[in-house]
Structure 1
């Protein structure tokens, strides 16, 4: 296959062919759950003035990123399973892996801002309102987003310059690693760029996160019992979300390390999917359940919806009853 070939074959979809309707139904339920929970969090944060604070803006940003990442994967998968298609065009392939990789970069950037936000809130409470404003949070978000797009776009451009000697991708979606395996030209520059940027970025962001939470822990030991309990609860919520993301990264890393071993395509696909789907699936749950103010507002919204439905049902029943009496 030369550099101008127009499509690739996703071998992972062949493995799903026998139970494609089962996989399709399961994927649809998971995707629907991600969208439902995530949009609920976003809606509550946007419509509740009391939640227009840095921490909730960051939670909203995190789940929005999950929506984008999962939407780069699930719709194409569902269509492929329904139509028994195994092909993906070259352009669609590059768009898919670029979007997924940007979301991965941006997600750890968001966790870094969240850690720094909590560090300022706990360690510098008197200066917090001036150091971490909504405008400052938006600047941090835009900065990490710009870096993510730039870093990944350079990698995508370098990948686009490669010549490919195969068409078969051992996965159910496009990822950069699978494309590099298909390359029959020297991809050293591409690999060095990707590994160097990711390693430096991960080292810096994780260092900031560790620094923030170590300082938070040291301050918590000096706080009153009630304040310490609240601070640790918030910290553990963020650490839980970050741990889910790191678990996903580890699965992708394991697949990368096992790439030279002759493993079933199902194993390669499983590692990739777990790494991709786990964060957007669990983040809305973690922050929706463990963040008290957000959980309360979500419950109130759901109760209002239920009351509205009940009210409409009662009105409809009353009208039917009146018509029956008139007849």
Structure 2
């Protein structure tokens, strides 16, 4: 069967159709959320870039994480805001595939960054005397670039497999495009595409989760053996990173639930909520948590706000 439908038709996002009745409210809410994510993240990045004392692996990784949050939320909000303003409920097949790839890339990249951060904190807490030799700014950049290559290749292969699937419909139960929604519309057997997505995701998560869990267990073990200020510092570090990692896992859990319930008749609003949670919560809370709980950043943010005369000394 020739895949001519894919290149000649627009896809209808049923989630946008449902939002039409309260589009003004959703539009304002989207603008507020997106502006908050961008503003909070830019403040963190600007402070790290401006202060040379923060040019360390941990702060580079934090900046990298919140920047990824801007890009990740940008796969949702700009188009959503425009669609709500113009009452558009469609997306071209090409733009749908692009959105699918970008969402996957930024999600995998966030997991990679959290993994590198966990390893960095493991070295800082468990091997403090060798930390400066084991992890440097240059090594962090290499880790970041290496993870970029991996997280770009994986979704591109998935996209190629999905492009080969002819579609028998044009209605998506969502407000965004994702690979699973396109596979559901396929007219033919999509087991290869599903097998690839599932196997790669499981393998990727297994490796990254192993590094993260191992690092946090080792940090916790060190916290049990030390006392006083060292224990408080170690626990503070552990809790901060566990908060962010838990937020990411919550978003991942929502996506997993939607994937498992894909064959069950669910309200379109539920499909949309399960899909976009991961695009909103982590980008919004990551800069807040690190800005409040990271001592170096907290001091700089406070000083910056004092200069603007909007923060009590």
- TM-score scaled by length of structure 1: 0.92
Matches within 5 A, 1:160-175: 160-175=163-178
Partners in 1 of 2:150 and 2:7 — Cα distance?
29
Tell me, yes or no, if structure 1 residue 147 matches structure 2 residue 150.
Answer: yes
Looking at CA atoms only, which structure, 1 or 2, has the larger radius of gyration? Answer: 1
Gaps of 5+ in 2: none
Q: Does 1:112 align with 2:115?
A: yes
Secondary structure of 1:300 counterpart: helix
Q: Which residue of 2 aligns with 1:37?
A: 40
| Structure 1 runs of 4+ with >6 Å offset | none
Cα deviation digits, residues 66-92 of structure 1 (max 9, x gap):
000101110000000000000101111
Given the alignment, which residue of 295, 299, 303 partners 2:298? Answer: 295
Counterpart-to-counterpart distance in 2, 1:58 and 1:168: 39
User: Does structure 2 conserve the Cα–Cα contact (< 8 Å) formed by 1:3 and 1:161?
Assistant: no
Q: CA deviation at 1:274?
A: 1.3
Deviation at residue 3 of structure 1 after TM alignment: 3.2
**Matches of 2:228 and 2:90 in 1, distance apart?**
59
Q: Distance in 2 between matches of 1:148 and 1:259?
A: 25
Aligned to 2:12: 9
Alignment equivalent of 1:304, drawn from 282, 307, 313: 307
Cα deviation, residue 258, structure 1? 1.3
Query: Helix, strand or coil: the match of 2:174?
Result: coil
How far 1:304 moved relative to its partner?
2.2
Q: Are the counterparts in 1 of residues 41 and 66 from structure 2 also a CA contact under 8 Å?
A: yes
TM-score, structure 2 length as denominator? 0.96
Equivalent pair of 1:288/1:294 in contact (CA under 8 Å): yes
Q: Matched residue of 2:5: which SS?
A: coil
Q: 1:267 aligns with which of 260, 270, 274?
A: 270
Structure 1 residue 47 displacement after superposition:
0.7
The root-mean-square deviation of aligned C-alpha atoms, in Å, is: 1.1
Distance 1:14 1:3 in 2: 21
Question: Does the alignment pair 1:218 with 2:217?
Answer: no
CA distance in 1 between partners of 2:155 and 2:228 (Å): 45
Q: C-alpha deviations, 1:48-75, integer Å up to 9, x for none?
A: 1111000110000000110001011100
- Per the alignment, in what secondary structure is the counterpart of residue 8 of structure 1? strand
Q: Residues of 2 paired with 1:46 and 1:3: CA distance?
A: 44
Please, which of 251, 276, 280 is the counterpart of residue 277 of structure 1?
Answer: 280
CA contact (8 A) 2:34 2:77 kept: yes
Partner of 2:261: 258
Counterpart secondary structure, 2:165: coil
Instruction: Determine if contact 2:7/2:94 at 8 Å carries over to the other structure.
Output: no
CA distance in 2, matches of 1:156, 1:235: 37
Q: Distance in 1 between matches of 2:93 and 2:243?
A: 37
Partners of 2:303 and 2:164 lie apart in 1 by 53
- CA deviation string 1:3-42 (max 9, x = no partner): 3333211000011010000000011100000000001111
Question: What residue number does 2:187 align with?
Answer: 184
CA–CA distance in 2 between the matches of 1:270 and 1:17?
16
Residue 62 of structure 1: which of 55, 60, 65 is its match? Answer: 65
Q: Which of 202, 226, 231 is the matching residue for 1:228? A: 231
Give the CA deviation at 1:303.
2.1
Query: Which of 26, 29, 39 pairs up with 1:26?
Result: 29
> Deviations along 1:267-316, whole A, 9 cap, x unmatched?
11111111221110111111111111101111112222349xxxxxxxxx
Using the alignment, how far apart are the partners of 1:164 and 1:263 within structure 2? 21
Moved more, 147-156 or 268-277: 268-277
